[in-house]
Chain A
Amino acid sequence: MLRTYVIAFLIFLYAPIALLPIFAFNSGSVIAFPLDGFTTDWFAQLGQQTELHAALLNSLFVGVLASILSVLLGLAAARANVRYRFPGKTAAMGLIMVPLVLPEIIVATSLLVVIVRFFDWPLSLWSLIAAHVLICTPFAIAILNASFQALDPALEEASIDLGETRLSTFRLVTLPLVMPGIVAALLISFTISLDEFIIAFFLTGSDVTLPVYIWSTLRFPKLLPVIMALGTIMVVISILILTLAEWNRRRGLRRVGAKDTGGFL
């Protein structure tokens, strides 16, 4: 009985996403049943949407920079958290992890107030990158914490005993061992940034990101089938990215000889 329930739950979980490819390949221009015929036109039309291309490039730019910066900050925080004891640790880690539970509208409005009302700076993709680093860092830390926890400190001590400096030990021993965690953290941060809407909605000026562009098209029924095609491609890509991240994480755990205890979060 429990098994039946869980399967029903998974169907509920996947039902809306299953609709994406159905409408992406449906020749009718209205997103509703009954279906018409099979077509790949909507995918072909993706190539002609110049605004979409600009939005995609903006999103990739924001996602790449935001994920690199969050993983750098995440590495420092996770390393400090796992390896060292220092005064104010709980409070410091608590503050850094807060964006994980904060409603995103609060982050969006408070940064908007500071940027526009207090400093009178123009909004740009950089303001969005700064905000995305803030919300991606806690996810990076969560993943990297696990990587550093799985790392045996004796390996680093051995390296120092054998004459390496602290820096070369980090480069030659620590970094390769936590590399799978770093890759997973990069991929997850990138995925979060790529998908984030409300902060981007508030903080982008004239340069919009992909979710903001999608939001603007949801009001125009004519473009919807093309968006379904785009969505189908995005789902496939995010499944690939996640599979890669998960494969990497497991490889990392195997490398340090730890037991697998679950997913990313």
Chain B
Amino acid sequence: MNQDSKRGLTLIAPPLAYALALLAGPMLAIVLFSFWTQDYLTINRTLSLKNYAEALSDPFYRAIMGRSLVVSGSVTVITVLLAFPVAYYVSFRVRPDRKSLWLFLITIPFWTSYLLRIFLWKVMLGYNGVVNSALTGLGLRDEPLTWLLYNANSVVLTLSHAFAPFAILPIFVALEKIDRSLLEASRDLGENAFTTFFRVTLPLAAPGVVAALLIVFIPTVGDYVTPAQVGGPNGMMIANVIQAQFRDLNNAPLGAALSVVAMLIVTVIALGTVWLARRLSRGT
């Protein structure tokens, strides 16, 4: 082994050991734990598929898992669609020396208290909230709207808001990498602005769009705070159920099995998205 490799390995050893001990180890532990069963107050350590049978067959868990995926999927699509024009504007229209200021403006809301931001959406959408006060104040409605808050839609709206910067940044990075002379070439060869966008810009920005899709989808599936705050009983998601199993219902192994199932589903969807994106980009 040459000296370079040795030095590299010595340096990477501490962070790698840390990730193995606190990430890989606990992940294996939770998988093992999910095969144990809760026996009233004690844990039965014989391996069993009972938790998985319950997690996969109980209509309640199936409905919650399905809703988590639908909500996250909608959040992902909406967030990326809303984010793309913003990333495009910053990359193509803003003066180069102003770009980091714009990115700074976009990321600031993301760094302010997550809990309070979610809570403030309750203030926005609530019965006496901003939206209803505006509607009744302007005389557009006599009665405040009650369907704004405590359902899956309010979860989608709130999460789309919370994850907007996550979607803008990777798309912006991909757009920045596009060689501007390719766009000129396309125009010189007779394409108009519209076709240039769809045949040159968009395919070249695809890696950023895929990254944005994943970076929004994966954490939102497991979000706890937003469904708990603005979801109401019909907006509950998988993380709320997992948390309830660990804390109030005292069936931690079932909670672990639900975590593992959620993780597997998310991994399969993520890999599927990457595979599909690769196939599509090869096709064009």
Q: Does B12 contact A (CB under 8 A)?
A: yes
Does the CB pair B43–A137 fall under 8 Å? no
Interface of chain A, main secondary structure: helix
Which residue of chain A is the closest to B220 with respect to CB atoms? A103
Given A105-B259, A264-B107, is A17 in contact with B33 using a C-beta cutoff of 8 Å? no
How many of B's residues come within 8 Å of A, CB to CB? 87
Given A105-B224, A262-B172, is A191 in contact with B111 using a C-beta cutoff of 8 Å? yes
One of A49-57, A93-101, A178-186 contacting the partner: A93-101
Complex: A108 Cα to B82 Cα, angstroms: 31
Does the CB pair B29–A110 fall under 8 Å? yes
CB-CB under 8 A from A85, the residues of chain B are: 4-5, 8
Q: How distant is A2 from chain B, measured CB to nearest CB, in Å?
A: 5
CB-CB under 8 A from B164, the residues of chain A are: 9, 13
Max count, chain B CB within 10 A of own CB: residue among A84, A105, A235, A262: A105
CB-CB under 8 A from B24, the residues of chain A are: 95
Q: How distant is A129 from chain B, measured CB to nearest CB, in Å?
A: 11
CB-CB under 8 A from B27, the residues of chain A are: 106, 110
Per-position binary interface string of chain A over residues 161-197, scored 1 when its CB falls under 8 Å from any chain B CB and 0 otherwise:
0000000000000000000000000000001000101
Given A103-B223, A262-B99, is A214 in contact with B176 using a C-beta cutoff of 8 Å? no
Complex: A101 Cα to B147 Cα, angstroms: 32
Does the CB pair A76–B221 fall under 8 Å? no
Q: Which of B86, B112, B117, B169 contacts A263 (CB 8 A)?
A: B169
Q: Which of B9, B93, B111 contacts A242 (CB 8 A)?
A: B111
Q: How distant is B101 from chain A, measured CB to nearest CB, in Å?
A: 9
Does the CB pair A103–B19 fall under 8 Å? no
Q: Does B115 contact A (CB under 8 A)?
A: yes
How many of A's residues come within 8 Å of B, CB to CB? 85
One of B48-56, B122-130, B178-186 contacting the partner: B122-130
Sample of 7 further A-B pairs with CB below 8 A, known A15-B124, A16-B120, A83-B8: A5-B85, A9-B82, A19-B130, A76-B15, A92-B12, A137-B19, A214-B116
A contacts, CB < 8 Å to B = 2-3, 5-6, 9-10, 12-17, 19-20, 23, 30-34, 73-74, 76-77, 79-81, 83-87, 89, 92-93, 95-96, 98-99, 101-107, 109-114, 117-118, 130-131, 133-134, 137, 141, 191, 195, 197-198, 201-202, 211, 214-215, 218, 227, 231, 234-235, 238-239, 242, 246, 250, 260-265
Q: List 17 interface pairs A-B (beta carbons < 8 Å), by A numbering.
A: A9-B164, A32-B129, A77-B16, A80-B7, A83-B7, A83-B8, A84-B5, A86-B8, A86-B9, A101-B219, A104-B219, A105-B243, A133-B22, A211-B114, A234-B116, A261-B176, A264-B107
